[in-house]
Amino acid sequence: MNLHSIPPPGLFFGTDGRGRLKDESEPQSLGRTVSRTLEMLPTCLMYVSLSLVAANPAEASWSGFRGPLSASVHSNQLPLTWSPSENIAWQAKIEGYGQSSPVVWNNHVYVTSVVGPNKEICRLSAFDLTTGKPLWQKQVANATPQESSNYISKAAPTPVVDEAGIVALFEGGNLIAVDNDGNDRWQWNLVEKFGPIKTRHGLGSSLAQDAELVFVWIERMEDPYLLAVDKESGEQKWKVEGLKAASWSTPVLLAVQGSQHLVLAGSGLARGHDPKTGEILWSLSGISGNTTPSPQPVGDGQFLLGASSGRGEGGGGKSSPSNALVKVERNSEGKFTANVAWKAKNAGCSFGSPIAHQGLAYYVNATGVLFCLDAQSGEQVYSHRLGDSIWATPLAVDDRIYFVGHKGTTTVVQAGREFLQLAQNRLWPEEAKEAEKKPPAEGEKSGGAPRAEGDSPAGILYAVAAVPGKLLIRRGDVLYCVSNAQTANASTK
């Protein structure tokens, strides 16, 4: 139902809209007025109820890594096209640098970053969703300062947010919780509690949450662990051993036959845990290359695995036999088991995870080739080169899929069994690439890991989030808000 089609309360009761009776051609008796009021009371209550629902902050939420997408977000609200001079509602400079996704709650947008040549400062920043105005910053000293370079993650874990506030993890070992106004709730120094966090390339695993707990996965080189913490009190609920496998992916909650499983994936292994106790429910081996893409739920007891082959970004576009659909179910003994239902023949992944949408699975490999597969059979429906690989997980909304290329170009494709490009958009001019290659990002050592032609640390897009009427796209040093011109104009009045 369209809320704007409901008449204002004054029309229900013959008032002027401020609760005062209008002058009418014939006087109304008290009995007639009361009778009419009672007749219209259910409609009035419906109006009030729907208005409250429309104002519910949760409808404008993006509460963690990959959302979830609110049911109130639809493609006809979101921008299809944009450019540096069109449909950019605002852009906000982020102090320092970060690779996490923005999260949203109650008209606030939150992002994390690290600052300094040795990432000395871990920072959580809040912005106004409507205007992009900075609201507050929370910063703590990094528990494990380390030289900033392209080899090591920089504020890669995405926080989680709900009505009580935000919980953020930094790769140095800081776990902080604040309310939505930036006031302290609790803090952990994971290094002090559980020892040094030594990794090959930093931490990439974002936080996951349910109604009561936040799940923290520290897949360090020695003694990795998975931790559950009470979001309200900061109390440890349980701690179990990690995978002991290379991984920069994020845990995901999967619905399985009326229960919830917390799914982890790392090189050669996927595993399901009971989120209430940490107990291992099932384990799947015999896979490979699944170090970075996160599992993607497809339906009850089913999830997509993404993987790549070889070294470098996503294995240079090579396919991997571990791009697959996994099914979790109970066996005859009542125990959970996980088995591969199908493996893709040609599809591959880069850093972005696969997605499932309207019965189809979408993978993008390191050379920017999009593979569309039937989600239940694994049969390839089509493949098409987008021209850019993705580091951000694609965003599917109704009949559109947004593929945010890491070099700054977003390709919008129509969802379905035939490839149809709807738009291709940039956030900054194409000619700016050369200029961006020269200076390193704030606090970043020049040189570092090899880059693709035209890349720069400042010019990489890491994440996209969607709320009603707006797309939020995260660059290492800038947060962009993209919206249709009409929406953008209205929001700045």
pLDDT digits (tens, 9 = 90+) for 339-393: 999 999 999 998 999 999 999 999 999 999 999 999 999 999 999 999 788 999 9
**Residue 58 in domain:** no
**Residue 42 in domain:** yes
List C-alpha distances in Å: 375 to 115, 288, 358, 361, 453.
Answer: 42, 20, 9, 5, 34
Residue 455 has pLDDT above 60, yes or no: no
Residue 277 has pLDDT above 60, yes or no: yes
Amino acid (one-letter) located at 308: S
| CA dihedral for 80, 85, 91, 97, sign (positive or negative) | positive
Of the ranges 97-101, 268-272, 455-459, which one carries the lowest mean pLDDT score? 455-459
CA distance 264 to 253: 9
CB atoms near residue 272 (< 10 Å):
27
**Residue 37 in domain:** yes
Residue in the block written with tokens 């080169």: 385
pLDDT digits (tens, 9 = 90+) for 221-246: 999 999 999 999 999 999 999 999 99
Residue in the block written with tokens 């204002």: 8
pLDDT digits (tens, 9 = 90+) for 57-102: 446 899 999 999 999 999 999 999 999 999 999 999 999 999 999 9
Q: What pLDDT score was predicted for residue 386? A: 94
Q: Give the mean pLDDT of 205-230.
A: 97
279-287 own/partner pairs: CB under 8 Å, 24+ apart = 279/240, 280/240, 281/336, 282/328, 282/335, 282/336, 282/337, 282/338, 283/338, 284/326, 284/338, 284/339, 284/340, 286/340, 287/322, 287/324, 287/340
Where is 209: in which H helix or E strand? strand 208-209
pTM above 0.75, yes or no: yes
| Helix/strand/coil for 432 | helix
Q: What pLDDT score was predicted for residue 372? A: 98
Q: Give the mean pLDDT of 145-158.
A: 86
**Residue 465 in domain:** no
Phi, psi of 31 (to 5 degrees): -65, -40
CB atoms near residue 478 (< 10 Å):
16
Residue 150 confidence class, pLDDT cut points 50, 70, 90: confident
**Residue 387 in domain:** no
| Domain ranges, residue 29 | 3-52
CA distance 246 to 233: 31
CA distance 29 to 23: 13
Tokens encoding 253: 């909650």
Phi, psi of 42 (to 5 degrees): -60, -40
**Residue 23 in domain:** yes
**Residue 279 in domain:** no
- Alpha carbon of residue 472 to chain centroid: 10
Q: What pLDDT score was predicted for residue 387? A: 75
Burial of residue 128 (number of CB atoms within 10 Å: 0-12, 13-18, 19+): middle
**Residue 97 in domain:** no
HSE (side-chain half, CA atoms, 13 Å) at 114: 32
Strands annotated E in 242-368: 252-256, 259-266, 269-273, 280-285, 296-299, 302-305, 324-330, 336-343, 355-357, 360-364
Tokens encoding 493: 């009045």
Total number of domains in the chain? 1
Residue 257 has pLDDT above 70, yes or no: yes
pLDDT digits (tens, 9 = 90+) for 358-367: 999 999 999 9
CA distance 393 to 60: 20
**Residue 185: closest CA among 227, 141, 231, 216:** 231
pLDDT digits (tens, 9 = 90+) for 282-341: 999 999 988 999 999 999 999 999 998 654 444 444 556 789 999 999 999 999 999 999
Report DSSP letters for 129-186, one per residue: TTT--EEEEEEEE-SS-----TTS-SS-S--EEETTEEEEE-TTSEEEEE-TTS-EEE
Tokens encoding 361: 């699975």
